[in-house]
Structure 1
Amino acid sequence: MRANRAELARAIKRARDRVRPEDAGLPAGQHRRVPGLRREELALLAGISVDYVVRLEQARGPHPSEQVLTALCRALRLDADERDHVFHLAGVAAPRSGLIDLHVRPSVLRLIDRFQDLPTVVMSAKGDVLAWNAMSSALHGDWSALRPERRNQPRLRFLPDPTDPPRSKVGGTPDERAATAVQSVANLRSVAGRYPDDPGLAQLLEDLHRGSAEFRELWAGTDASSWRSHTKTVEHPTLGVLRLECDTLHVPDADQSLIVYSAAPGSSEADALELLRVVGTQDLTSIR
């Protein structure tokens, strides 16, 4: 399949101009000179260099891989037809059925945009954090600051990396952390049954088996199950320990999940979420 670099450059540039930073869970900032995402912001969301984005938009440079195209289309909030068009322009076959869906359709993105008061993320079947709102970055830590391959719940849980930027600690007591670890492994076992040919899942499982003795032990003794709603403890560096309801809303045709954090009205946790909503992703260390 032959690439059309000029049309690919035009499609990326036009899509970038349509996306507002706040739509992608980024702070809008002031004195913006572009209508949509800056090249730096698109590069950050997609996990590629700014120079790579520049060269793509100038119809030159490397031939983008399927992984890069998937990340770009997700960051640009393209629908399935627009995504497939970008793949074709790049000379790459569009994603085939039977694999884990890493593309979040615009209607789901619009849905998380409505959760302005509640931290919300969209996760793939294997735990990739595909999209998030500003409240989630304020609660957990800036998702865009994580390398794309680290934006995965099992990796963060079982394969800690000291080079990751600071993030809120999730889990609370040893019993709670043990329960969520079992739930994470049980979900992956279920996913492995549904997607036996997915290369990304195979790589994830290989990395987890190689790098985590805890994961290997749990995998050997845990049956398949799906994520369930529960109460989760988040230790925020400034706001302290928060006990939040964590509800999982399933998007069945894409096999993706919306994870929504909330608190009962009038509780100290509800007050903390209100503070997060007011300050957004600003540095909370100055708040007293």
Structure 2
Amino acid sequence: MLAGVSVDYYARLEQGRGATPSAGVVNAVARALQCDRDQRDHLLHLAGHPVPPHSSDGHIRPGLIAVANRLVDVPAVIVTDLGEVVWQNPLGRILLADLPEEPGRGRNLIWRWFEDPRSRPMPEEDWSRISASHVSDLRATYARRSGDRRVREFVADLIAISDEFAELWAQHEVAVRRSDIKVFTSRELGRLEFRCEVLLTADDDISLLVFLPLEGTETASRLELLSVVGTQKLTSE
């Protein structure tokens, strides 16, 4: 499975069973097949979807996935500039174990953060800082893609569901997400502390997040255990 498309669902697509796949599913299949941008655009056209502007389509170059696949001992996640998780390595899947398989807002880190604060996997004392970071980063995307209806609708929907987001959005803070300290809490493994390095693509529409165990903590040893137990979900304390 890659980017949330299950083997069974892909088989049904190949056999022409079920409804026409959404643009998100087509993009996920293109990533799984390691299509280049032109091949991906052709798949979108065949499925009856408009081809997005190349500056904001969230396409992942196969070379970036090849690099990310070499990160075998630390969690790694690829996200779009709207916060949608489009790729995870095995440890990244474990770290974000409650993401649904199908593409959509259920796989969007920003949406999930503001839609249901009780499910946040970070300590409560970090919530305000992370919320501000999410909003200022989304502000940068909004400024860069001001003519993109999808971005405007996403922001409008966030304002509608979250007073916290609406208040932060009104402050007009703008900052592209960079490196940060991320802390996850787990009932089974305790506190996991990372330095999250954010590697941006040239047009800033895709980010590779690499979670490096913070020195001086027990995260590295716990991460080894996490790779073994594998099925445990991280939950907020």
**TM-score relative to the length of structure 1:** 0.71
Match for residue 71 of structure 2? Answer: 115
Counterpart among 132, 145, 156 of residue 88 in structure 2: 132
What one-letter code is carried by the residue in structure 2 that aligns with 1:187? D
Please show how residues 67-146 of structure 1 align to structure 2 within 5 Å.
Answer: 67-98=24-55, 100-145=56-101
Whether the 8 Å contact between 1:239 and 1:272 is mirrored in structure 2 is yes
3-state SS in 2 of match to 1:170: coil
How far has the Cα of 1:170 moved from its partner?
3.0
How far has the Cα of 1:261 moved from its partner?
0.8
3-state SS in 1 of match to 2:132: helix
How far has the Cα of 1:122 moved from its partner?
0.5
Match for residue 34 of structure 1? Answer: none
How far has the Cα of 1:141 moved from its partner?
1.3
Q: Unmatched 5+ residue regions in structure 2? A: none
How far has the Cα of 1:143 moved from its partner?
3.1
Whether the 8 Å contact between 2:76 and 2:88 is mirrored in structure 1 is yes
Match for residue 121 of structure 2? Answer: 170
Match for residue 181 of structure 1? Answer: 131
Identity of aligned residues (%): 31
What one-letter code is carried by the residue in structure 2 that aligns with 1:203? E
How far has the Cα of 1:227 moved from its partner?
0.6
What one-letter code is carried by the residue in structure 2 that aligns with 1:206? A
Matched pairs, number: 234
Compared CA separation, residues 242 and 199, structure 1 to 2 (3 A):
same
Match for residue 220 of structure 2? Answer: 270
**How far apart, CA to CA, are the structure 2 residues paired with 1:38 and 1:171?**
28
Which is worse superposed, 59-68 or 153-162?
59-68
Q: Unmatched 5+ residue regions in structure 1? A: 1-20, 27-36, 44-49
Task: Tell me if 1:231 matches 2:181.
Answer: yes
Whether the 8 Å contact between 2:83 and 2:108 is mirrored in structure 1 is yes
**TM-score relative to the length of structure 2:** 0.85
Counterpart among 99, 113, 121 of residue 157 in structure 1: 113
Structure 1 residues 25-69: Cα deviation after superposition (integer angstroms, max 9, x where no partner)? 89xxxxxxxxxx9632xx3xxxxxx7xx52x32346544443442
Whether the 8 Å contact between 1:104 and 1:131 is mirrored in structure 2 is no
Compared CA separation, residues 267 and 206, structure 1 to 2 (3 A):
same
**How far apart, CA to CA, are the structure 1 residues paired with 2:143 and 2:103?**
28
How far has the Cα of 1:198 moved from its partner?
2.0
Whether the 8 Å contact between 2:76 and 2:211 is mirrored in structure 1 is yes
Please show how residues 191-270 of structure 1 align to structure 2 within 5 Å.
Answer: 191-253=141-203, 255-264=205-214, 267-270=217-220
Match for residue 14 of structure 1? Answer: none
**How far apart, CA to CA, are the structure 2 residues paired with 1:151 and 1:275?**
25
Which is worse superposed, 267-276 or 146-155?
146-155
Match for residue 10 of structure 1? Answer: none
**How far apart, CA to CA, are the structure 1 residues paired with 2:204 and 2:173?**
23
Structure 1 residues 129-169: Cα deviation after superposition (integer angstroms, max 9, x where no partner)? 1111110121221434476321112111111188xxxx7x4
How far has the Cα of 1:179 moved from its partner?
1.0
Q: What RMSD, in angstroms, separates the aligned Cα atoms of the two structures? A: 2.8
Whether the 8 Å contact between 2:58 and 2:205 is mirrored in structure 1 is no
Whether the 8 Å contact between 1:25 and 1:133 is mirrored in structure 2 is no
Higher relative contact order (CA 8 A, sep 6+): 2
Match for residue 5 of structure 1? Answer: none
**How far apart, CA to CA, are the structure 1 residues paired with 2:30 and 2:3?**
16
**How far apart, CA to CA, are the structure 2 residues paired with 1:224 and 1:109?**
28
Larger radius of gyration: 1
Whether the 8 Å contact between 1:172 and 1:232 is mirrored in structure 2 is no
How far has the Cα of 1:171 moved from its partner?
2.7
